[in-house]
Amino acid sequence: MNHLHIIDYIIIFSFISIVLYLGFSFAHKQKSTSSYFLAKGKMPSWAIGLSILATLISSITFLAYPGEGFSSNWILLVQGLMVPIVLLSLIWFVVPLFRHAIGLSTYEYFEKRFGLFARYYSSTSFVLSHFSKMGTVFFLVSLALSNMTGVNTLIILFIIGIAIIVLALLGGIEAVIWLDVLQGFMLFACGIACLAIILFSVNGGPAEVWKIASENKHTGFGPYNFNFTKLSFWVMAINGIFYAIQKYGTDQTIVQRYLTAKSDRSAIKAALMGVFLIVPVWALFMFIGTGLFVFYQQNPLPAGIRADAVFPHFIVSQLPPGVVGLILSSLVSAAICSLGADLNCIAAVGVEDYYKKIRPGRTDEEYLKVGKWLVFIAGFLAVAIGALYLLAGDEGVLGIVFTLYAIFSGGIAGIFLLGLFSSRANKQGVTIGIIACIIFTAYALLTSTKIGLGNEKRLLLDLGNYNFKQHKLMLGVYSHLVVVVIGYVTSLFFPKQEVDRNLLISGWKELRKKSQVIYSAE
């Protein structure tokens, strides 16, 4: 059924029009790769901080986190809680390191430390993981809007896809960042308003929400045992540590934001702002799901609604016209911001890591043209993947996203840690470590993935007692550790290489001390 009022449609299409206008208004500034991919390094720190926030939340936060809070406890939030713990120890030297060590692509650092193979492997992993994420975002948004409006899901996919491609294609990273700012404020306002409405729509108010949720084990982060074969607090915590290292230390969508800042200090402030805002937002939307669970204990939910669609159902059935339109605009905004950033960053990697290697010494105008073509192609590929995601199984979308990220992460954090902390790790050793990681990941996937229908499901490869029996999120953890251990040990069998000290943490600490001494003397 069509649940939306004409006012809601006007608000949603007005917002999409604003997005398209923003893309066109910034188009005249996109005359070089520096402006298109880096906004010429002139963005203020507060805008970059909100942009980092918007890039990380997307529609996955808006829909999947409430879905998890509705169907379970807060265990999948544990990964996010690890982010500030890890980043507070890394951000001070990681940000200036990248701002001085690379031009555009994060994976240039990997080449400087360990050669071309490490660069291509890490950049390919980035592209694969983000295509899986983009498909998920398209899937979530189109499915939610289709359920609310009755419009065919594929038509919604196409409309949103066009808006995102136009924004990223014409406006570049600067348009994406300023839309992120708008979206950040919209998300906070809508999230807080929805939570307040849910809490006070429950008979008994917030106290009753907590009571019923606790009685039904929808609060807390357990189970807390050390059984790594099932999802537990420690599985999510350990996975979250490596997720934080990889996301903030090696992910192009985040590192590229560092490069748009005016100075190192401004970039660090932006990173800290993004870190300290993201956890409350994740927690806010997870608790919305908890509130929805209690609300629908008192008000029966219609049959056939999956957990990821409960929040959209509440929006259209409980909120007045106009407010629904604003919230759905925020949902669409979250998708457009996140996907627009992904497209721009994938194009940056495509130009910097691949096209420039194939055709070096070409004009900047040619590289810019290729970058825009890559945005266009990647956008339509992401739409196609979103259509395929409509066939997803019963597992919660957030769980699928975390699993795919663990698979495609492929030891990238391990390579990064060796690059930062070990001057003894070398190209040959790390290459062997990466190959060992690929073999391990293939083994773990084949011996833990079942195919077939119902009771006829069977493992792709059954090795009996030697199957990978731990939770798939641990696959990502082990892949990083395989690279660290094997990469370092095998490096000892090859001659030690000369390493630019500025690419190591120890080198940056020495440089900082020298700077402090000079400053004190002055």
| Alpha-carbon gap, residue 257 to 345, rounded angstroms | 10
Q: Where do we find the tokens 């031009």?
A: 103
**Phi, psi torsion values for 459, nearest 5 degrees:** -70, 145
> What pLDDT was estimated at residue 402?
52
DSSP string, 62-88: IIIHHHHHHHS-SGGGHHHHHHHHHHH
| Alpha-carbon gap, residue 257 to 371, rounded angstroms | 17
Integer-rounded Cα radius of gyration of the chain? 23
> What pLDDT was estimated at residue 395?
47
In 353-502, alpha helices (H)? 356-358, 364-388, 397-409, 412-421, 427-446, 473-491
* Helix 116-149, helix 310-318: angle, nearest 10: 40
**Phi, psi torsion values for 498, nearest 5 degrees:** -70, 130
> What pLDDT was estimated at residue 455?
64
End-to-end CA distance of the chain: 72
- Cβ count near 28 (within 10 Å): 8
Q: What is the pLDDT of residues 247-271, one digit of tens each?
A: 888 989 999 999 999 998 999 999 8
CB 63 within 8 A of CB 140: yes
**Within-domain flag for 507:** no
CB 253 within 8 A of CB 341: yes
> What pLDDT was estimated at residue 200?
92
Tokens of 326: 């604003």
- Cβ count near 91 (within 10 Å): 20
**Within-domain flag for 30:** yes
DSSP three-state, residue 426: coil
**Within-domain flag for 180:** yes
> What pLDDT was estimated at residue 249?
86
**Residue 42: which CATH number?**
1.20.1730.10
Tokens of 144: 């939610």
CB 290 within 8 A of CB 69: yes
Q: Of 187, 156, 160, whose CA–CA distance to 55 is shortest?
A: 187
Burial of 208 (0-12, 13-18, 19+ CB in 10 A): middle
pTM: 0.86
**Within-domain flag for 214:** yes
Ranges of the chain with pLDDT below 50: 1, 393-395, 517-520, 522
**Within-domain flag for 474:** no
Cα 312 vs. chain centroid, distance in angstroms? 22
Its domain, for residue 333, covers 6-226+261-391
Give CA separation, 77 vs 241, 289, 367, 373, in Å.
Answer: 13, 12, 40, 37
> What pLDDT was estimated at residue 517?
47
> Angle CA(169)–CA(397)–CA(464) in degrees, nearest 5?
120
| Alpha-carbon gap, residue 295 to 219, rounded angstroms | 15
**Within-domain flag for 510:** no
| Alpha-carbon gap, residue 305 to 327, rounded angstroms | 20
**Within-domain flag for 462:** no
DSSP string, 86-138: HHHHHHHHHHHHHHHH-SS-TTHHHHHHH-HHHHHHHHHHHHHHHHHHHHHHH
Q: Where do we find the tokens 């909120």?
A: 319
**Phi, psi torsion values for 47, nearest 5 degrees:** -70, -40
Cα 191 vs. chain centroid, distance in angstroms? 19
Give CA separation, 155 vs 145, 350, 379, 390, in Å.
Answer: 11, 29, 15, 13
- The number of distinct structural domains making up the chain is 1
